Structure 1
Amino acid sequence: MNRFSHMDLRVNSWEQVSLFYDKLLHELGFTITYHSEQWNVFAAQGELPSVPYFAITEDPEHQPNDNLIGFWGKDPAEVDHIAEVVKQHGGTINSGPGFFPISPTYYAVYFEDPCGNKYEMVHRLN
């Protein structure tokens, strides 16, 4: 059973990141939106609250830190694709895509949203 429910995320400026999250989260399967004045919600297929979702709100005082959210890629090609989406829509690639010495098959890209929140997209066999 997947026990993931949701992620509440802060960004400095929704205007600065809206296109980035529209594109990135759609590519990751969060294709249903439930936006309100305070929250921008991207959910997986199905009915809330039983599906995973990202809820993003604006906080001008938000200070990104070293926390990192990791996504699973079905293969290295999907990792490469997400790296391109990140670059095309205002994100920053910090490392990769490529193999990392975590294991012989650890293929990943590390990146940030336009506000500095950190992510990883990874595929590995063992």
Structure 2
Amino acid sequence: MNKFSHIDLRVNDLAIALPFYEKLLPELGFTRTFHSSNWRVFAADGELPSAAYFAITEDREHKPNANLIGFWASDQAEVDRIAEIVVQNGGTINDGPRLFPISPTYYAVYFEDPCGNKYEMLHRLN
């Protein structure tokens, strides 16, 4: 059983970050929204409250750090497609998409949202 529940993410400028996440998160399977005045919540399929979700709130004092959130891709083409979405919506590619020497099939892109939060989209066979 996958024990993943949710991510509570802080961004230092919601007005800049939200359009990025409105394009990216549905592509990652977070297709339902449950927004409130302080949180923008994107949920995956499944029964609430156990469905995985990605929640975003603004904290003007937030400083991005070296934490990294990783997502699986079904194939290399999905990694490439996510990289395009990142660039088209104000994110920054830090490395890739390409094969990395982690394993012979480790294909990934490392990127940041417009506020500097770090992510990885990866596909690998072993």
SS of alignment partner, residue 120 of structure 1: strand
Deviations 1:9-37 (A, max 9, x none): 00001100111000100100100000111
Tell me the distance in 1 between the aligned counterparts of 2:67 and 2:45. Answer: 27
Q: What is the deviation of 1:46?
A: 2.5
Q: What is the RMSD computed on CA atoms of the aligned residues? A: 0.6
Distance 2:102 2:53 in 1: 28
Aligned mates of 1:32, 1:79 — CA distance in 2: 22
1:35 aligned counterpart, secondary structure = coil
1:8 maps onto 2:14 in alignment = no
**What does 1:6-85 align with in structure 2 at a 5 Å threshold?**
6-85=6-85
Q: Letter of the aligned partner of 1:25 in structure 2?
A: L
Query: 1:47 deviation in Å?
Result: 2.9
Counterpart of 1:33, as a letter, is T
2:105 alignment counterpart: 105
Q: 1 CA distance for matches of 2:64 and 2:49?
A: 27
How many residues are aligned here? 126
After superposing on structure 2, the runs of 4+ consecutive aligned residues of structure 1 that deviate more than 4 Å are: none
Opposite residue 41 of structure 1, the aligned amino acid is V
1:45 to partner: Cα distance: 1.5
TM-score (norm 2): 0.98
Matched AA of 1:72 = W
Percentage identity across paired residues of the two chains = 74
Q: Distance in 1 between matches of 2:107 and 2:97?
A: 7
SS at match of 2:34: strand
Deviation at 1:49, TM superposition (A): 1.1
